[in-house]
Amino acid sequence: MREMRRSRQLLSQEDCETILKDNTSGVLSVYGEDGYPYGVPLSYVYADGKLYFHSAQTGHKIDAVRKNNKASFTIIAQDNIVPEEYTTYFRSVIVFGRVRILENDAEKRAAIETLAEKYMPDLKEGRLQEIEKEFSRLCMLELTIDHMTGKEAIELVRARQ
Ligand SMILES: Cc1cc2nc3c(=O)[nH]c(=O)nc-3n(C[C@H](O)[C@H](O)[C@H](O)COP(=O)(O)OP(=O)(O)OC[C@H]3O[C@@H](n4cnc5c(N)ncnc54)[C@H](O)[C@@H]3O)c2cc1C
C-alpha cells in the first residue's frame, strides 16, 4: 500500500465512505489482456463495507476477474474546472480490493436487490419483477475492500481551514 505523497489532501475514511454512498458510477480497473489494463465504467452499490456490481455472465471484465481477482474502483465525486486558476477542484476515491463472483443464489439475490433499491427506490414491485426476469442471466460481483484512499484538491483543503 502506497502512502499519498500530498498527505494534506488525503480524505478521511469517513469522507471516502460518504463518497461511495452518494455517487452512482465509477471505473472498475481489472487485470489486462496483452498488457493493457482494463478500466470499465460501472454502476455499483456500497453495502456492508463492500461494493457490489451487476454484470453479464460473459465478457472482458468477467474473464479478467476470473484470471486475477485483484481490482481497483475509482470514483470521481467532484470535478469543478476553474480555468482562471488552471486547475480543477476535484474529489475522488480509489478503492483497492478483491472481486468475487457470487455463485450462491441467495447471495446473488440479496446483492441485486440492494443494487436495484439504490437506483430505483420508488419502483419496488417493478424492480423485483425485473430481477426475476433477468436473474438466471445476470452475474453479481462483490468487491471486498483491502484499502481505500480519497483525495481532494488543495484549494478545497484550504477553503476549510
Ligand atoms: C455510467 C455507466 C454505468 C454502467 N453500469 C453498468 C452496470 O451496472 N453493469 C454492467 O454490466 N454494465 C454497466 N455499464 C456498461 C459497462 O461499461 C460495460 O460496457 C459492460 O459491463 C460490458 O463490459 P464487458 O467487459 O463485459 O464488455 P465486453 O463487451 O466484453 O467488452 C469488449 C470490449 O468493448 C469495449 N467496451 C466495453 N464496455 C465499454 C464501455 N462502457 N465504453 C467503451 N468501450 C467499452 C472494450 O474495448 C472491451 O474490451 C455501465 C456503463 C456506464 C458508462
Q: How far apart are CA 50 and CA 120, in angstroms?
A: 20
Q: Are 119 and 24 in contact (CB under 8 A)?
A: yes
What's the pTM? Answer: 0.96
Q: Which atom of ligand 1 is nearest to the CA of 115?
A: 8
The answer, yes or no, to whether residue 2 has pLDDT greater than 90, is no
- Report pLDDT for 161: 81
Q: Are 34 and 8 in contact (CB under 8 A)?
A: no
The answer, yes or no, to whether residue 54 has pLDDT greater than 90, is yes
Q: Which of 24, 25, 42, 118 to mutate to test the pocket of ligand 1 (most atoms within 8 A of CB)?
A: 42
Q: How far apart are CA 117 and CA 103, in angstroms?
A: 21
Mean pLDDT of 84-110: 97
Q: Which atom of ligand 1 is nearest to the CA of 55?
A: 11
Mean pLDDT of 3-25: 93
Please state, rounded to an integer, the average pLDDT across all residues of the chain: 95
Amino acid 59 reads G
Q: Which atom of ligand 1 is nearest to the CA of 40?
A: 17
Amino acid 89 reads Y
**E strand or H helix that includes residue 14:** helix 13-22
The answer, yes or no, to whether residue 158 has pLDDT greater than 90, is yes
The pLDDT-based confidence of 115 (bands split at 50, 70, 90) is: very high
Q: Are 144 and 47 in contact (CB under 8 A)?
A: no
Q: How far is the CA of 41 from the centre of ligand 1 (A)?
A: 6
| Per-residue pLDDT tens digits for 89-98 | 999 999 999 9
Q: Which residues line ligand 1 (CB under 6 A)?
A: 25, 40-43, 53-56, 59-61
Sign, Cα dihedral of 79, 82, 83, 88:
negative
Which structural domains are found in the chain, ordered by start? 7-156 (2.30.110.10)
**E strand or H helix that includes residue 151:** strand 138-152
**E strand or H helix that includes residue 15:** helix 13-22
